[in-house]
Amino acid sequence: MDILITIGVVLVVIIAYIGINALRLKKAVTNLTQEQFIEGYRKAQLIDVREQKEFDAGHILGARNVPSTTLRQRYKEIRPDLPVYLYCQNTGRSSRAALFLKKRGYNQIYQLQGGFKTWTGKIKAKKY
């Protein structure tokens, strides 16, 4: 019986954690479809938070690479007074980047729904 109670408590904690994170994320970032993303990213700061190697393999035309692993040191390169359009491969890293930026006073944060893997627009790749 004690095991069932323990499992129940753990499940409640996990569900609460997921719910709280979902609410925090909803307040921090606006998800945009590819069409909505295309409409606004030229008037914004387009940031690819994937690692340099991923960026070099192919990125959205006009994007700047600020890997999520260096965001803590480089976030001041991103202007807080302009919209920020983020993307990564899926949406995990860009979501975490959005939360990080929101805590530092950035308010106009948008992310590409589905990430780069769903992008069908123009891309640029480094030639080796």
What's the CATH code of the domain at 44?
3.40.250.10
Residue 87 lies in a domain: yes
Asked whether residue 103 carries a pLDDT value surpassing 90, the answer given is: yes
Between β-strands 123-124 and 59-60, what pairing exists: parallel, antiparallel or unpaired? antiparallel
Residue 12 lies in a domain: no
Amino acid identity of residue 109, one-letter, is I
Flag whether the pTM goes above 0.95. Answer: no
Residue 80 lies in a domain: yes
Taking Cα atoms as reference points, which of 93, 99, 91 lies closest to residue 24? 99
Residue 18 lies in a domain: no
Taking Cα atoms as reference points, which of 38, 36, 29 lies closest to residue 63? 38
Number of domains in the chain: 1
Range of the domain at 36: 28-122
For residues 28-45, average pLDDT: 92
Which of 14-18, 28-32, 68-72 is the most confident on average? 68-72
Residue 13 lies in a domain: no
* pLDDT given for residue 13 in this prediction: 87
Q: What pLDDT digit, counting tens, does each position of 39-95 carry?
A: 999 899 999 999 999 999 999 999 999 999 999 999 999 999 999 999 999 988 999
